[in-house]
Amino acid sequence: MMRRNSHYTLIIYKKKEEMTDFEITRGCDRGLCRQSVGRQDRQLNTYDWLADVPGNQEETDLVEVQFKNTRKGYFHNVNHLELKKGDIVAVEANPGHDIGVVTLTGRLVNLQIKKANLKSADDIRRIYRHARQIDMQKYEEAKSREHDTMIESREIAKNLGLKMKIGDVEYQGDCNKAIFYYIADERVDFRQLIKVLAETFHVRIEMKQIGARQEAGRIGGTGPCGRELCCATWMKNFSSVSTNAARFQDISLNPQKLAGMCAKLKCCLNYEVDQYLEASKRLPSKEVVLQTQDADYYLFKSDILAGLVSYSTDKRIAANVETITAQRALEIIEMNRNGEKPLTLAEEDSAKTKQQPIDLLAGENIARFDKAKRKKKKKRPMQAQANQQQRPRKKERNDRQQRPNQQAENNQ
């Protein structure tokens, strides 16, 4: 085994004159296979599960290139460069060129183009070359100007009295163009703003309006579930979310819990709505009252996915709550329609057996770990000598006490 260009190379000899090299990538690739498809290190990462399939790279010359945050573009590899995930390339832009990172190659790029809804062939430009040292120096210079440009542009927009928020600024790799991403609730006339920005920064200005969800995806973050935001990892197309999705799933209509990092309703509310709608069709109506010989029962709550419904004898409070299956509730409704009333809500054949939770610590003492072992105090040397001197004195006293007792026994 020998080291070569931060890769480990294994050389296996088949015959005397033949040998085959197998490269195990490490370092920046961090993938499960040699094409770096495993670990996600960029936003909107796509798992290339066809990376190791023979002929995948020759299937198409289209390449997916990612720029700052979530901005992606698709380009033709007209120069037939050997590209893999993680390579930094210089691509065609208008005007000049831009610097990006290759994030996908092969057959899956065609599916990504359909997903991005690119209909015009003019939107797909060319890849020039691998990024050189001069390109990277200019790229680093452009990136160092973005934060200061964003702060200054916000002051300019504020002085012009425009009701808009400039959330991010992205410079092109050759410093000839800057994209300003802004958020506005109303339509904004920023023609004067473009003139002032062009005079101040001496670059070509492009304004792009984004929503609150797109801004959260560009910035990134961690959601209340503990995972990275969906809009920053895989979600590109945003569908409208309403409070009806929360009602169908019996979720509390608490605005603080329903809102995401973008202050809008969470996109994940739509993930399981279809399953809840399908399961709710098998539940009885909320307005139907179940009549038994004991009392009338009103719907108190329902577990949609488990198919369980709880009924109470009072409309407003939980009184004599009985939990039965949805199938049993439908049977009672059918009996009431026929003029029959069962004895109880529970099935007559089966006895009522309430499942109580098992307490694993029922016979254990909770304070068993609180008892600390008493440490024996070490005797000091002076105390040890005093104890040795007292021991013969105690023996003499005991002997004196035993002598009269022995004499009395002898006289008897």
**pLDDT tens, position by position, 4-53:** 333 333 333 343 344 334 333 333 443 344 444 444 456 777 888 888 88
Cα-based torsion angle of the residue sequence 400, 403, 408, 409 in order, rounded to the nearest 10 degrees: 140
The residue that leads in pLDDT, 68 or 21, is 68
**To the nearest whole percent, how much of the chain has pLDDT over 90?**
36
Buried b / exposed e over 357-374, threshold 16 CB at 10 Å, is eeeeeeeeeeeeeeeeee
What is residue 349's DSSP assignment? S
Phi, psi of 21 (to 5 degrees): -100, 135
For residues 183 and 167, the answer to whether their CB atoms sit within 8 Å is: yes
Sign of CA dihedral 394, 395, 396, 402: positive
Given CATH 3.30.300.20, say whether it is the number of domain 140-215: yes
Greater confidence, 389 or 167?
A: 167
Q: Could you tell me the pLDDT band of residue 114, with boundaries at 50, 70 and 90?
A: confident
Q: What is the CA radius of gyration of the chain?
A: 39
pLDDT digits (tens, 9 = 90+) for 223-277: 988 988 988 888 888 888 999 999 999 888 898 889 998 889 999 999 999 999 9
User: What is the value of pTM for the model shown?
Assistant: 0.64
The residue length of the chain stands at: 412
The continuous run of DSSP H or E covering 324 comes out as strand 322-325
Is the separation of the CB atoms in 63 and 39 below 8 Å?
Answer: no
H/E stretch holding 45 reads none
Cis, peptide link before residue 95, omega less than 30° from 0:
yes
Single out the residue of 109, 103, 90 nearest to residue 41, CA to CA: 103
Domain ranges of the chain: 1-30, 31-131, 140-215, 239-278, 282-337
Strands (E), 172-250: 177-183, 204-209
